[in-house]
């Protein structure tokens, strides 16, 4: 006879609670122990990061009307890891909550920015175009709500797809499709095991090409388009086109559904150093890995893109002229200052004027609030300005 567990059930990390506090503090560093993953292999040649470490403990960061010390800022934003590069050299590298340099941590929606970089490679090779219709690559979606949707609509979150992404609502679409991706126990009996069978069931809220509306599922459809265009699985594309050529130090991984389909929108886990390498690659103009033209396109304030973003609630958090393009949040395209961002505080932050890149892993006790988001962005901006000043 099996005896009771050694701890009360509410103290155990499980598939039901790993995204919730305090369980996410362990769960985000142990995704492979909870969910099936596919390997994103590194290459044999590692691009080493040189060090020019400085004592930053005396810094006071300007966050709104407050000035707070660096460590207090890290504590207030539930930091698991912080790495700051100045001119490509490590200024500080800090770990907390049991994390180490070799520990993979969930990127959440920074995964979208990684997916975008790989998409840029395919576009640069002529295998894919932002103007392509989805149905050109996935004819199975002809006659569904995806008819007339382009790759550009997916990249800039402007498809007309109806999709509720309220993380506080367990009945929301985002929580339902997590069951298909094996992020939650399957409670709906008739859900497909294959995410590609789920996409055609979605309906539209508006016409494609309308205002910016952030929905993670659009990135997963993009991942499927990329696989079809390149004739390879997404984890293999990420390895071949990004992780290996950028000189990653460690393998990364990405969660998959029961049929092996990778979760492009938020399923990547990697180490802090490799996230910083990715950010530095962007800051260096792609370094012949990601086409410079893709980064230039991301940082070009297309009038239509800016207007589509300006009319939304997300715009009030950023300065006038900010926008979302190619899976990046562009704070200041001229500087440039831009970032990949994920719920619970995952960030890769590129500050062009300061020549600073910051990688940050966190486990906020909430998926997202405006307060945490603004606190993090202002703190990282102040940190970058002082390191590069």
SS3 378: helix
Of 78, 218, 84, the C-alpha closest to 157 is 218
| Sheet strand arrangement including 89-95 | 89-95, 79-86, 356-362, 346-351, 337-342, 328-332, 323-325
Question: Angle at Cα 251 formed by Cα 247 and Cα 252, nearest 5°?
Answer: 105
Of these residues, 50, 109, 111, 145, which one is catalytic? 109
Residue carrying structure tokens 């509410």: 10
CA distance 319 to 329: 11
Does residue 239 have an active-site annotation? no
**369-374 LR contacts (CB < 8 Å, sep 24+):** 370/317, 372/77, 372/345, 373/317, 373/341, 374/64, 374/317
CA distances for 126 relative to 139, 153, 165, 304, 350, angstroms? 19, 18, 33, 24, 27
Question: Angle at Cα 356 formed by Cα 374 and Cα 248, nearest 5°?
Answer: 105
The number of angstroms, rounded, from the C-alpha of 258 to the middle of its chain's C-alpha atoms is 22
Strands 252-255 and 37-40: antiparallel
Active site residues: 109
């Amino acid at each position: 006879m099996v005896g009771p567990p050694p701890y009360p059930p509410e103290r155990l990390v499980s598939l039901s609670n790993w995204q919730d506090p305090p369980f996410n503090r362990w769960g985000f560093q142990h995704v492979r122990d909870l969910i099936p993953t596919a390997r994103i292999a590194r290459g044999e040649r590692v691009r080493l990061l040189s060090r020019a470490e400085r004592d930053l403990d005396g810094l006071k960061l300007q966050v709104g009307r407050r000035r707070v010390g660096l460590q207090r800022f890290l504590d207030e934003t539930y930091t698991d890891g912080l790495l700051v590069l100045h001119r490509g050299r490590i200024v500080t590298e800090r770990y907390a909550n049991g994390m180490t340099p070799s520990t993979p941590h969930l990127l959440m929606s920074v995964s979208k920015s990684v997916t975008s970089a790989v998409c840029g490679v395919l576009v640069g090779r002529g295998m894919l175009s932002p103007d392509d219709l989805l149905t050109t690559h996935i004819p199975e979606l002809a006659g569904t709500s995806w008819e007339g949707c382009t790759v550009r609509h997916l990249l800039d979150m402007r498809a007309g797809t109806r999709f509720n992404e309220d993380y506080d609502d367990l009945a929301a679409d985002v929580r339902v499709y997590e069951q298909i991706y094996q992020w939650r126990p399957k409670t709906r009996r008739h859900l497909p095991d294959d995410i590609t069978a789920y996409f055609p069931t979605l309906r539209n809220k508006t016409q494609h090409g309308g205002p910016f509306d952030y929905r993670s599922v659009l990135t997963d459809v993009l991942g499927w388009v990329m696989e079809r265009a390149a004739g390879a699985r997404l984890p293999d594309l990420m390895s071949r086109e990004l992780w290996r050529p950028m000189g990653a130090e460690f393998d990364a991984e990405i969660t998959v559904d029961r049929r092996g389909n990778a979760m492009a929108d938020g399923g990547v886990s990697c180490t802090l150093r490799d996230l910083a390498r990715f950010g530095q690659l962007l800051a260096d103009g792609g370094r012949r890995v990601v086409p410079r033209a893709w980064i230039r396109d991301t940082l070009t304030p297309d009038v239509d893109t800016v207007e589509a973003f300006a009319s939304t609630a997300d715009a009030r958090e950023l300065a006038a002229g900010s926008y979302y393009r190619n899976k990046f949040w562009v704070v200041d395209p001229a500087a440039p200052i831009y970032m990949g961002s994920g719920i619970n505080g995952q960030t890769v932050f590129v500050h062009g004027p300061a020549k600073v890149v910051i990688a940050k892993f966190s486990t906020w006790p909430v998926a997202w609030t405006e307060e945490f988001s603004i606190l993090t962005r202002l703190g990282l901006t102040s940190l970058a300005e002082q390191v590069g000043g």
